[in-house]
Amino acid sequence: MSGNENGKSILLLWLTMLGWQVDVRSKGGELHGVAHHIAADGSSFRVSGRGATRDELAFRLFQAALRVVEGSAERRPLLAA
């Protein structure tokens, strides 16, 4: 999970590519991040996390986003074909 040549974590890039808006800030020597996503049905999701490094923060945000997405899929009714 190493960063690319411009210092941005690969997982943060993936979140962005998947439609998440990610904001990372440094507070007291620790990185804090918030990621927002608006789904096609209009529902809105927000996750947050913190880490000592950009990669640690990215991993925590990515895990939280996956839990949100997996949980929202479980709550939606199945559509019959």
The structure's pTM equals: 0.77
Is residue 27, in this structure, part of any structural domain at all? yes
Q: What is the pLDDT of residue 7?
A: 61
Domain that holds residue 68: 10-74
| CATH code where residue 18 lies | 3.30.160.20
Mean pLDDT of the chain: 84
Give me the number of domains the chain comprises.
1
Is residue 81, in this structure, part of any structural domain at all? no
Question: Do the Cβ atoms of 35 and 47 come closer than 8 Å?
Answer: yes
Reply yes or no on whether the pLDDT at 65 is more than 70: yes
Pick from 4-13, 47-56, 72-81: least confident:
72-81
Instruction: Give the pLDDT confidence of 36-60 residue by residue, as tens digits.
Output: 999 888 889 999 999 999 999 999 9
Is residue 1, in this structure, part of any structural domain at all? no
Is residue 4, in this structure, part of any structural domain at all? no
Is residue 26, in this structure, part of any structural domain at all? yes
Q: What is the pLDDT of residue 74?
A: 58
Residues 35, 9: Cα–Cα separation, whole Å: 14
